[in-house]
């Protein structure tokens, strides 16, 4: 795209966003902003492929006394993980005040304990990096909000005060905390919209200077090493009276605007939207599949996989997965089972019954986890997420007793993650075979801390050798990843077909039509041995055994059959 076409597209998009409030100077200001980045050195980014595997981690997940934690993380990855992982999602790495990073004080200042931009630059030499852009809200300790409270003219429209004429009745809430909070200011009490907490103040992107600020931040992330940018809680960005204030058309158009700009300056930089909502709402962020998000979080996958391995019944997972196939040659899914947050339950709406959801809630509590709730429009509360280490969530305590069977079940569930169409993202505690971190919950009172333990470098290195459970999960997981990366049938832009071998089996056929490679994935989701006629001849690339139609799978066993 040449510059004239870029500017034409930008002007059209801004007019669509602001409609009757659009002013010609909006375009001129955005044009000047864009021109600041002309001639700057943006790194070249290769498009994603079957070789891309993301690791989700905090910048201080691995630490050593007296060292910037990014350096410790980099050392650990190089020494222990190697090139099994290609992309590192560093959860918010900026100065913050709460929510383990998601209340950013300064969008460009690296948290001092992590290091600085030089440390980030060092790790970017070994791994592609994904940055979090917490675009919906900012810390109350930020200069922006301090300026708002102090009466500084620049910031008076950066936030959204309570408006008696605004109809809030349909606003979707992900939390049980108040939507509006009060703050003491230089001139008395001020109010502000707070979707998530009293310390996380929603920014007012309807005010054009805020769109300019956020666009500059996005471009600076791309300029400073980001090859992927995660738009956190992006669905809540735009607010309109009388609406749900989630997934509004203007939010979609802002993402499309940012894609136009990133495609110009740094093509193949992945825009990844994080919207923990029902599936059809979630995939709306693909736009026309070529003009909005490159990837969307596959939020239905974690709870449906958990359901299948809990009930030993793949019916719901199979029915849902049958609706998932190739998006386009430029868009795909960001797949995960575990993350820094809990297991979101909203994506199961319309898929699991209330009774089926309750089974997962009860199991979570039995297995030592916690449950978080949200407020509904009718004044009731419903389950928002399950807070538990995913490896602990998988285990059925009455049958998954032996360590080897537990390890096999964990690997089995993650084989599904690695097989599903899209790009797999693995949470660091899953790769390292961790358990529930009760101390974190008890000390903080924060449910999500159960899956956010920080690990001292020497201790985790030693435990990966001495702790048999950690060692088995880590070594076998890495081998599984490395095998997967060598097969073009797992291209994120390939195709996927769900096959039905009964409710105790889950199966996918993955194919890359460009290379004519096809892999049949079959997993036994029960604790009993299963034999079936898979109907194909080929080689199970996991152990090089030949398959001639008949296949026997051990408890939680799985196969990747390269079809000949």
- On the 0-12 / 13-18 / 19+ scale of CB atoms within 10 A, 118 is exposed
User: Is 449 marked as binding a ligand?
Assistant: no
Cβ atoms < 10 Å from Cβ of 531: 9
**Among 232, 245, 496, 218, CA closest to 339:** 232
**What is the H or E stretch that residue 507 is in?**
strand 505-512
User: Is 99 marked as binding a ligand?
Assistant: yes
User: Is 126 marked as binding a ligand?
Assistant: no
User: Is 329 marked as binding a ligand?
Assistant: no
Map 47-81 to HEC letters.
CCCCCCCEEEECCCCEECCCCCHHHHHHHHHHHHH
Residue among 87, 100, 232, 400 flagged as catalytic: 232
User: Is 448 marked as binding a ligand?
Assistant: yes
User: Is 232 marked as binding a ligand?
Assistant: yes
User: Is 288 marked as binding a ligand?
Assistant: no
Q: What are phi and psi of 530, to 5 degrees?
A: -130, 140
Mention every residue, 6+ apart, whose C-beta is less than 8 A from residue 151. 185, 186, 187
What is the number of residues in the chain? 564
Q: What are phi and psi of 538, to 5 degrees?
A: 170, -160
User: Is 231 marked as binding a ligand?
Assistant: yes
Indicate the DSSP class of residue 46. Answer: P
Tokens of 436: 């529930």
Q: How far is CA 150 from CA 162, 199, 298, 326, in A?
A: 18, 17, 42, 51
Nearest-10 crossing angle of helices 69-76, 117-124 = 10
CB 338 within 8 A of CB 390: yes
Query: Is 232 a residue of the active site?
Result: yes
Question: Coil, helix or strand for 345?
Answer: coil
- Report the sign of the C-alpha dihedral through residues 43, 44, 47, 48, in that order: negative
Strands 270-273 and 295-297: parallel
**Among 325, 256, 246, CA closest to 292:** 256
Q: What are phi and psi of 155, to 5 degrees?
A: -100, 5
Largest Cα separation within the chain, whole Å, is 79
- Report the sign of the C-alpha dihedral through residues 430, 432, 436, 437, in that order: negative
With b for 16 or more beta-carbon neighbours within 10 A and e for fewer, the 166-184 pattern comes to beeeebbbbbeeeeebebe
- Return binding residues for substrate: 99, 137, 230-232, 340-341, 448
- Return binding residues: 99, 137, 230-232, 340-341, 448
Q: Any idea which residues carry the catalytic annotation?
A: 232
């Amino acid at each position: 795209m040449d510059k004239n076409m870029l500017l034409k597209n930008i002007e059209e998009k801004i007019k669509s966003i602001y409609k009757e409030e659009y002013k010609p100077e909006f375009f001129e200001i955005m044009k000047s902003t864009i021109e600041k980045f002309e001639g700057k050195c943006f790194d070249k980014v290769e498009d994603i492929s079957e070789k891309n595997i993301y690791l989700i981690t905090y910048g201080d997940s691995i630490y050593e006394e007296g060292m910037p934690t990014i350096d410790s993380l980099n050392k650990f990855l190089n020494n222990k993980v190697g090139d099994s992982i290609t992309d590192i999602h560093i959860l918010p790495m900026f100065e913050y005040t709460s929510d383990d990073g998601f209340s950013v004080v300064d969008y460009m200042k690296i948290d001092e304990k992590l290091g600085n931009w030089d440390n980030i630059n060092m790790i970017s030499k070994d791994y592609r990096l994904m940055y979090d852009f917490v675009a919906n809200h900012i810390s109350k300790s930020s200069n922006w909000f301090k300026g708002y409270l102090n009466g500084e003219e620049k910031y008076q429209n950066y936030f959204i005060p309570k408006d008696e004429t605004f109809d809030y009745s349909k606003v979707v809430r992900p939390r049980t905390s108040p939507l509006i909070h009060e703050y003491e200011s230089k001139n008395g009490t001020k109010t502000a919209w707070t979707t998530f907490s009293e310390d996380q103040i929603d920014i007012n992107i309807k005010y054009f200077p805020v769109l300019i600020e956020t666009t500059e931040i996005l471009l600076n992330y791309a300029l400073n090493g980001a090859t992927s940018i995660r738009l956190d809680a992006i669905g809540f960005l735009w607010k309109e009276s009388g609406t749900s204030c989630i997934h509004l058309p203007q939010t979609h158009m802002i993402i499309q605007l940012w894609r136009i700009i990133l495609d110009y300056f740094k093509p193949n930089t992945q825009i990844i939207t994080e919207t923990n909502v029902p599936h059809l709402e979630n995939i709306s962020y693909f736009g026309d599949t070529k003009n909005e998000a490159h990837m969307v979080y596959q939020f239905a996958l974690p709870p449906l996989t958990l359901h299948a391995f809990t009930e030993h019944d793949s019916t719901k997972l199979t029915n849902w997965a049958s609706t998932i196939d190739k998006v386009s040659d430029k868009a795909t899914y960001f797949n995960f089972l575990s993350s820094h947050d809990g297991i979101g339950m909203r994506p199961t709406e319309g898929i699991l019954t209330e009774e089926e959801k309750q089974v997962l809630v009860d199991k979570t509590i039995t297995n030592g986890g916690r449950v978080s709730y949200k407020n509904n429009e009718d004044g009731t509360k419903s389950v928002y997420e399950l807070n538990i280490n995913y490896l602990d969530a998988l285990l059925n305590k009455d049958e998954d007793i032996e360590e080897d069977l537990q390890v096999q079940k964990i690997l089995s569930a993650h084989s599904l993650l690695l097989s599903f169409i899209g790009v797999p993202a693995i949470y660091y505690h899953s790769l390292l075979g961790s358990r529930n971190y009760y101390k974190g919950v008890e000390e903080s009172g924060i449910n999500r801390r159960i899956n956010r333990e920080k690990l001292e470098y020497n201790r985790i290195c030693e435990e990966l050798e001495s702790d048999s459970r950690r060692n088995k999960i880590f070594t076998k997981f890495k081998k599984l990843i490395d095998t997967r990366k060598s097969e073009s049938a797992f291209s994120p832009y390939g195709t996927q077909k769900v096959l039905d071998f009964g409710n105790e089996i889950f199966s996918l056929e993955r194919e890359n039509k460009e290379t004519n490679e096809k892999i049949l994935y079959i997993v036994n989701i029960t604790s009993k041995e299963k034999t079936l006629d898979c109907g194909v001849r080929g080689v199970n690339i996991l152990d090089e055994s030949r398959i001639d139609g008949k296949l026997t799978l051990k408890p939680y066993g799985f196969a990747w059959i390269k079809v000949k």
